[in-house]
Chains A and B, each alone.
Chain A
Amino acid sequence: MTDITALHTALSRQRQREHRRWRFLLLFLMLIAGSLLLDVATGPSLLPLREVAATLLSPGEADAMTRAIVMDMRLPIALMALVVGAALGLGGAQMQTLLDNPLASPFTLGLAAAAGFGAALALISGGFGLPPLIAIPIGAFVCCMLAAGLLFGLALMQHVSSQTIILAGIALLFLFQSLLSLLQFLSSPELNQQIVFWLFGSLMRSTWDSLLITAVVTVACALLLYRDAWKLTCLRLGEARARSLGVDVTRLRLKTLVLVALMTATAISFVGIIGFIGLVAPHIARMLIGEDQRFLIPLSALCGACMLSVSSVLSKSIIPGALFPIGIVTAIIGVPFFIWLILGKGRKRA
C-alpha cells in the first residue's frame, strides 16, 4: 500500500516537473511577444508601443503612414529576427546533441564560413547574371550545403565517430575562411566592403518573401526534428546505448544533420553571419529544463528567437539613430552574459 502511495507521489512529481517546463515555454513566448513589439516600435522614428500593438492587431484602422512603417518596413525584419534566431538556436542544440559536444554549432563546423565564401563568390562574379539580392543567398546556400554534404558523407560511414566529424568540420572552417580571404585579397576595395558588410550579418535586407521562405523551411525542419525527440534524447546516453535501445544511430545522425544544415543554411543565406546564438541559446535552454528533447527542441528555438529579437532592439537603441550590425551586438552583449551564466548557475536544473 505504501508502495503504491509512493509511486503516485513520484508520478505527480514528474508531472509537476513537466508543468514547470511548460511554464518556461510560456514565459519565453511572452518575452518574445514583448520583444517583437519593442522591435517594431524602435527605429529612426520611435513609435508608441500602444500604437504598434493596435496597428499589428488591426492594420486596417491605423493611419497609412504608421501602417506602412509597421507592416511593410519593420514587421518583416522583426519577424525575421525571430525565425532566424529560432533556426540558429535549434540548429545549435541539435549539433550539440548529435556530436555529443557542447562546443558544436553550425559555425564551429564551417557551415557559416562556407556560406560566407559562397556569398562573396556571388558578389565578385557579379551575381552570375542574377540580381544580387537573389544571387547572394543562392551562392551562400549552395556553398553551405556543399560543405554540409561532406559532413553527411562522413556521418554515413558507420565507423566514423562524432569526434572525426567535428575535426573535419573545423578543417572545413579553416578552408573556407582561407578561400574567403583569398577572394577578398583579389577583389576591389568597393567589393571588399560589400563582402565585409555581408559577413557582419544584417536583418535589414529582409523582405516578406525571404521571411516566408526562411519561415517555411525552419518550421518544416523543426517539426521533422521534433518527431525524433525521444530518439535524440536516447542519443545523449551515448551512441552504444542508443543503439542498444533500438535507435538506428547512423540514420538518425544523417537525417538530423541534413535538417540542421538546411535550416541554418537558409537562415544564414538571407541574413549573413550571426554568430553566438547557435552556441548559447541551447545552453540556456538546457540549464533551464534539462535534456528531455520534447522540451529542449522548442525551448532552444524560442530562446534563440528571443535572443536575436532582443539583440535587434539593442542594435537600434544603443546609439539612437545609428544601427549597429546585429552580429556584433549579439556577441558583445551575449558573451559577458553567457560567462556569468555558466560560472554562476553551475548545474541547477528543472
Chain B
Amino acid sequence: MLELDKLSLAIGKQSLVRELSLQLQPGQLHVIIGPNGTGKTSLLRALFGELPLQQGEIRFGGHALSRRHGASWRRQFGYMPQNTQLELELSVLEVVVLGRLDSLSMRLSDDDILAALSALQALGIAHLADRAMHSLSGGQRQMVLFAQVLLRDPQIMMLDEPVSALDLQHQLQLMEHLHHQTRAKNWVSLVVLHDLNLAAQFADRLIVLAGGTLQAFGPPAEVLDAGLIHRLYSVPVDIHRDRDGKPYIRTLRQASLCA
C-alpha cells in the first residue's frame, strides 16, 4: 500500500498541494484528474522523491520516503514524465533497453534485448524497433517510452499524461495494457489523465485534485457527478451511464465561453 499522510508540497513560497492524505492499494488503477496547474505533476514528482516534502509523510511497504535512501526508493518506481522533446540519434530498441538502467552491463545481454523487444511486441510496435527516435511521430515516441517504463518492472507505476499524443486505438491499447498489468503484477498504478471519459472507463479509483486539495476520492461511478465537474472546470455537463453502469460525460455547449 502506498500511503500519503497529510502531504503538503510547495515550490518556493507557492503552495502546490495541501494536507493530502490517500491510501493507494496494489492491483488498482488510480487516475488523477483535475484542472491545469493543480499540482498533479508535482504530486508525482514528490512521490518519486524528486521534490522535497514541505510537510507530511509518504510510506510504501512499511518504509517512509527519506532523502537518504532516495536511490533505493526510486528503484521501486516506474515513472514516465510528461512528453518532452526527443531529437535523438538512438534507435527505439536502445531507448527501451534503458528502462533496465540499474542492471545493464557494458555488453547488452540477449536477455536485455529480448525483454525490450517483447515489451514493444506487447504494445504492437515491434516493427519500430530499428527506427531512430527522431524519425517517429509524437504518439509513437509516447508508446516507446511506455515500453521503456514497463521494462523497469516496478511495484509502483506512475504515468504523467501518457496518452496525450496517442490516437484512439493506441490510447485504448495503452490503457488496456496498463489495466491488465496492474492486476497481473499487483502494481500500485497512478496515472494523470485529462480525458474524463477515458478516466471513468479505466480507473478503479479517481483522485480529484483542484487548487492543491483533494476534492473527491473513490470509484468513478460514485465520484463523478455534474456538480463536481462544474466546480472543477466551470463547464456544464450531462452524465450518462453505459451498459456496465459506468459513467460517461457529455459536455454541453456554452455560448458564454465566447464572451
Which A residues form the contact surface with B (CB < 8 A)?
3, 6-7, 10-11, 13-14, 17-18, 229-231, 233-234, 236-238, 240-241, 243-248, 286-287, 290-292, 294, 347, 349
Contacts and interface: CB of A to CB of B under 8 A. Distances in A.
A349 B94 CA distance: 14
A18 B113 CA distance: 12
Contact of A230 (B101, B132, B149): B101
B48 A241 contact: no
Interface string B131-160: 010100000000001001100100000000
B73 to A, nearest CB: 10
A297 to B, nearest CB: 11
B222 interface: no
B81 A240 contact: yes
Nearest to A290: B89
B93 A291 contact: no
B235 interface: no
B192 interface: no
User: A-B pairs with the 7 shortest C-beta distances?
Assistant: A244-B79, A290-B89, A291-B89, A238-B84, A240-B81, A245-B101, A10-B117
Contact of A11 (B101, B102, B113): B113
Contact of A6 (B86, B89, B126): B126
Contact of A246 (B75, B113, B129, B132): B75
A231 B85 contact: no
A3 to B, nearest CB: 6
A349 B89 contact: yes
Interface string B213-235: 00000000000000000000000
B157 to A, nearest CB: 12
A240 B114 CA distance: 26
Given A241-B84, A291-B88, 11 more contacts: A229-B106, A233-B94, A233-B98, A236-B88, A237-B95, A238-B84, A243-B48, A243-B50, A286-B89, A290-B90, A290-B91
Given A3-B121, A231-B101, A244-B81, A10 B129 contact: yes
Nearest to A246: B74
B84 to A, nearest CB: 5
Contacts of B90: 233, 236, 290-292
A14 B84 contact: no
A301 B71 CA distance: 32
B178 to A, nearest CB: 17
Interface in B99-114: 99, 101-102, 104, 106, 108, 110, 113-114
Given A233-B98, A244-B80, A11 B91 contact: no
Contacts of A238: 84-86
A349 B132 CA distance: 9
Given A11-B117, A231-B101, A292 B94 contact: yes
A229 B106 CA distance: 8
Nearest to B48: A244
B74 A10 contact: no
B195 interface: no
B98 A10 contact: no
A13 B50 CA distance: 37
Contacts of B117: 7, 10-11
Which of B98, B126, B134 gathers the greatest number of chain A CB atoms within 10 Å? B98
Contact of B106 (A17, A241, A287, A294): A294
Which of A229, A234, A236, A287 gathers the greatest number of chain B CB atoms within 10 Å? A236
B118 interface: yes
B238 interface: no
B89 to A, nearest CB: 4
Contacts of A237: 84, 86, 88, 95, 98
Given A233-B94, A237-B95, A246 B89 contact: no
B130 interface: yes
A14 B113 contact: yes
29 contacts: A6-B126, A7-B114, A7-B117, A7-B118, A7-B126, A10-B93, A10-B117, A10-B126, A11-B110, A11-B113, A11-B114, A13-B130, A14-B130, A17-B130, A18-B108, A231-B101, A233-B90, A234-B101, A236-B88, A236-B90, A238-B85, A243-B48, A244-B80, A245-B99, A245-B101, A246-B71, A246-B75, A286-B89, A294-B106
Which of A14, A17, A18, A247 gathers the greatest number of chain B CB atoms within 10 Å? A14
Interface in B62-77: 71, 74-75
Contacts of A17: 91, 130
B235 to A, nearest CB: 31
A246 B78 CA distance: 10
B166 to A, nearest CB: 18
A230 B98 contact: yes
Contacts of B118: 7
A135 to B, nearest CB: 41
A291 B132 CA distance: 11
Contacts of B84: 237-238, 240-241
B206 to A, nearest CB: 24
Contacts of B89: 286-287, 290-291, 347, 349
A287 B89 CA distance: 8
B42 to A, nearest CB: 13
Nearest to A245: B101
A14 B93 contact: yes
A282 B104 CA distance: 24
A234 B148 CA distance: 12
Given A231-B101, A238-B85, A290-B89, A6 B121 contact: yes
